[in-house]
Amino acid sequence: NAVAQAKESAYKLDDPVAPYSAVTSYNNFYEFGYDKDDPARLAGRMKTDPWSVTVEGECDVTGTFNLEDILKGIMLEERIYRLRCVEAWSMVIPWIGFPLKDLVGRFRPRSTAKYIEFITLADKKQMPGVASVFSTIDWPYREGLRMDEAMHPLTLMAVGLYGEVLPNQNGAPLRLVVPWKYGFKSIKSIVGIRFTEQQPHTTWNQIAPHEYGFYANVNPEVDHPRWSQARERVLPGNLFSPRRVDTRMFNGYDEVAPLYKGMDLKVNY
């Protein structure tokens, strides 16, 4: 299949990749539960084929599309990115995907499209977390990017990892990967894309605006109110010598710095 034939790309890291079992067993995917191992246990019941994505808003091509139709002719590549979770841990993951800008172009956004909003599937029947009454989340999960962030060559739409189709717990069949932002920006199992003029509401920002900003760029100088972001635990970790390393600005992806020229990132965190 196409995923197995994905080409290598120039996007690589020197750090060793996390083992497959770590990447696929330790997930935040609250639609399936709040423990890190809930998604791996419970996401199997999510039906990812057929899958459709609804595109709407400030673009010329709108409608509901089958995933295969959306991805027709798109070239897949492997990219090894560091994923930095807002919880102060990180993993190095070999994704299979394509630049988001390739997809965005197909919908011909208008000049009024300043932002792009993404929506995750929210189905009580398939997702126990969505059905839970103790949840602090107003489903469906939403995320968003500014248009120039979405069009940046680093911004990836992933359909696989380790040369395989994405496991459900990792956001099958289609997920975002924005490596210079905290992991929660990289929304999973996308069913909706909306081009907007106004900055969209995003889930974590709505739950706790003083803890999670819209931008959520990895930034060692802006602490989460409850923990420091200056350092991170590289996973998988050792019990008696946890691999704590300094967190880098933009997660080490310095090439995105021009996107935020003139912005105070302590205010726009």
Partner 1 sequence: MARNQLLNITIWTALLAPVVYIGVMIVRIQNGEWDLLGPEPGRAVTQFLGTWALNSLLLTLTLSPLKRSPLSINLISYRRRMGLFAFTYMLLHLLAYMTMMLGWQWQDLNDEVVKRPYMVVGVFALLLTIPLAITSTRNWQRRLGRRWKKLHYSVYLVAALSMVHILLQVRSSWTEFVVYSSVLSLLLIERLLNRQKTA
Which positions lie near partner 1, rule CB under 8 A?
18-19, 21-22, 25-26, 30, 34, 36-37, 89, 91, 132, 134-137, 207, 223, 226-228, 230-231, 233, 235-242, 244
Which residue in the block uniquely carries the two structure tokens 């189709």?
165
CB-count exposure of residue 118 (10 Å: 0-12, 13-18, 19+): buried
Report how far Cα 154 is from the mean position of its chain's Cα atoms. Answer: 12
Burial, 20: exposed, middle or buried (Cβ in 10 Å; 0-12, 13-18, 19+)?
Answer: middle
Gap between the Cα atoms of 17 and 94, Å rounded = 7
Closest contact distance (angstroms) between CB of 123 and partner 1 is 18
Nearer to partner 1 by Cβ, of 49 and 221: the residue is 221
10 or 133, CB closer to partner 1?
133
- State the nearest-atom distance from the C-beta of 140 to partner 1, in Å: 15
Residue number with CB closer to partner 1 (155 or 203): 203
Q: Tokens in use for 52?
A: 């459709």
CB of 201 to partner 1, least distance (A): 17
Residue 90 CB, shortest distance to partner 1, in Å, is 11
> Between residues 141 and 195, which has the closer beta carbon with respect to partner 1?
141
H or E element, residue 84: strand 77-84
